Amino acid sequence: MKRLDEATREYHKALEIDPLSPIINGNYGVLLFVQHKYDEAMKQMTQTMELQPSFTVTALRMSELLAIKGDFQNAAIPEHADARSYGQATVDAIAKLTGYQPPYLTAEAWTWAGNRDKVFEYLRQGCVEEDHLEQVFLRSPSFDPIRSDPRYVEVTNCLTIPQ
């Protein structure tokens, strides 16, 4: 948690320098999100979307936050009323994208869909690829349901994430 506190201080400094930067604002919202500070994260993400409505990364994380709070009606895929259908729709949407997709994104969607074997298949792929962003996003609340699985320790060891 010490490093997350340090990151929070650095984002505050960055926002003092450039308060209108959608990248700084959006990433700060994600940082609040991975710290489980949902109300603050929602406020920060909303502010980011007001600054730049087309900022896709923030829109996706905002959708995830709404889903975590159980608000599937306002999440990006509103026709899905539960986590499993939301997750499966997200897996399907990622599969249709062209170009490289980081394994942690698909792993995260499989977490929602409830398929732990697929989750760890993609997280292990991220280890093989040495995907450093996986270190950040594995802290996402979306991965809370798999933290008690012994394979989670294996993946965090591969990525050198402190427990």
The per-residue pLDDT for range 112-145, each reduced to its tens digit, is 888 999 999 998 988 888 776 666 667 778 888 8
If you average pLDDT over residues 4-32, what whole number do you get? Answer: 89
Domain boundary among 71, 94, 128: 71
Residue 78 confidence (pLDDT) above 50: no
9-30: b (≥16 Cβ within 10 Å) or e: eebeebeeeeeebbebbbbbbb
Looking at residue 11, which CATH number applies to its domain?
A: 1.25.40.10
Residue 86 confidence (pLDDT) above 70: yes
pLDDT tens digits for 56-77? 667 777 877 887 787 766 765 5
Confidence at residue 41, expressed as pLDDT on a 0 to 100 scale: 92
Task: State the residue for tokens 């995260």.
Answer: 108
Do residues 97 and 145 share a domain?
A: yes
Do residues 65 and 105 share a domain?
A: no
Domain coverage including residue 23: 1-71
Domain boundary among 33, 50, 71: 71
